[in-house]
Structure 1
Amino acid sequence: MEFWLSFNNGEEKLRLPVPPSSFEMQTGSTNTTVNLNDVGEINLIGKRRLKAISLASYFPIQDDGLCQYRDFPKPQKCVEMIEKWRDSGRPIRLIITGDSLTINEAMAIESFNYSQKHGPQDIYYSLELKEYRFLNFKATESASNALLKKIVGDTRPTEKEPNKTYTVRAGDTLLTIAKSQYGDTSKKDKLMEKNGIVDENQLPPGKVLVL
């Protein structure tokens, strides 16, 4: 089984010289347990959680018989590569290939710990990775806006559907009529044009305006 880490669409790659003896890909769902008075506990199935995996092995200073290939990078070089990728703020890709299993996942480096022991200058490490999801921000923003409108309502001003006519009352002005009938005082000019009004102050009560 081969373990590969790659960065920036394969621009930089690291094949682990000594593969981890085992690994476990952790996954699950964001389920929620709710207690209903008449029913008891029910389980609401949520979306899938991010996958997570822990790898542990060592970077050998020389071939000790457990290395999968020759001419592997020095331990210090391996550490520097992983630290650079971690500090870039960008995801890496984990590729695991075997006879019965293939894993190819974009991952974020959650933690990277390493140490040395007495004896050879091998560097022992543990690497914790968590799945990285690439988001379509345009689609995400549209979904967020739709959810916000559902919660608080659409706050954009909407034009009212006016009646076909309006009978002027005492105290009415073109501004107040435009506001009450259209929801927009700027429609005053529309009223004047439709009704042939030259002087906006000439609004005798009882006059019927076409809207």
Structure 2
Amino acid sequence: MTIEITEGVWLSYNNQEDGFRLPVNPASIEIKEGVKGKTHTILGKGEINVIQAPELREVSLESFFPMVKYPYAVVEKPEKPIWYVEKIQKWMATKRPIRLVYAGANMYPDSEGVKIAELNMAASIENFTWREVAGSPGDLEFKLTLKEYVFYSALRTSIVEDQGEAVLEAQQPQRPDEREAPKTYTLVAGDGLWKVAQKCLGDGSRYPEIQKLNGISDAQLNSLPIGMTIQLP
């Protein structure tokens, strides 16, 4: 799924491989930002406030999934309302973040003329409520609350020599990857479990997890057949 930036709201999953544009734009989008200051009492000075780092943003929006094509809908051929509901439910069940892109009247071009959305962030689905209202032709109204998601991982370190002394050096963190991790892998020529662990899990030393999960003996490690499908942890 490739998002062409025009005015609207998009929700996507797995590095934009799956997603949709909201068929009816919300009347409003509320973005909550703030910080939590800590207060301390200092003798002779009284109470002071220490400003902390900004909190993760929260986004709330309301709209509806239409059963029929209304003149104000922004999608030419919307899916059935329950399709959108089941799609969001499926994403929630994965316990993975999605991506929210909101482009309104305040979007702007960068130095190369590429349009920049007002809001483009990874987010967790914090709350999703929906209902069918009597009198509508099957439309489903919904409320969605999202919270900004920050990708994180432990920093890898390596031992290097500095002026004759061994010191720890932190490696640069990898670029955040929104893609869903694969569940299986099919061996190709030159593959070994260490190489598979490095390629699929990002750490070759985790190969014993793959070995145990697939019931592979030590004697089989050097004779795994090409085309064998193995489960990944």
Look up the equivalent residue of 1:62 and give its one-letter code: V
Instruction: Tell me the TM-score normalised to structure 2 length.
Output: 0.58
Following the alignment from structure 2 to structure 1, what is the Cα–Cα distance between the partners of residues 69 and 52?
Answer: 47
Following the alignment from structure 1 to structure 2, what is the Cα–Cα distance between the partners of residues 124 and 3?
Answer: 16
Q: Which residue of 1 aligns with 2:123?
A: 107
Shift of 1:71: 0.8
SS at match of 1:82: helix
Q: Which residue of 2 aligns with 1:20?
A: 26
Runs of 4+ in structure 1 off by over 2 angstroms are none
When the two structures are aligned, how many residues end up with a matched partner?
Answer: 140
The residue correspondences of 1:1-211 to structure 2 (distance < 5 A) are 1-101=7-107, 102-119=118-135, 120-138=137-155
* Cα 1:139–1:98 shift into 2, 3 Å: farther
Deviations 1:130-151 (Å, cap 9, x if unpaired)? 01000132269xxxxxxxxxxx
* Cα 1:139–1:31 shift into 2, 3 Å: farther
Shift of 1:98: 2.2
* Cα 1:128–1:139 shift into 2, 3 Å: farther
Deviations 1:92-126 (Å, cap 9, x if unpaired)? 00001123132100000001000011121000000
**Higher helix share goes to which structure?**
1
Q: Which moved more, 1:50-59 or 1:60-69?
A: 60-69
Query: How large is the Cα RMSD of the aligned pairs?
Result: 1.5
**Higher strand share goes to which structure?**
2
Q: Which residue of 1 aligns with 2:186?
A: none
* Structure 2: tracts of 5 or more residues without a match: 1-6, 108-117, 158-233
| Alpha carbons 2:69, 2:77 under 8 Å: kept | no
* Cα 1:98–1:139 shift into 2, 3 Å: farther
| Alpha carbons 2:129, 2:142 under 8 Å: kept | yes
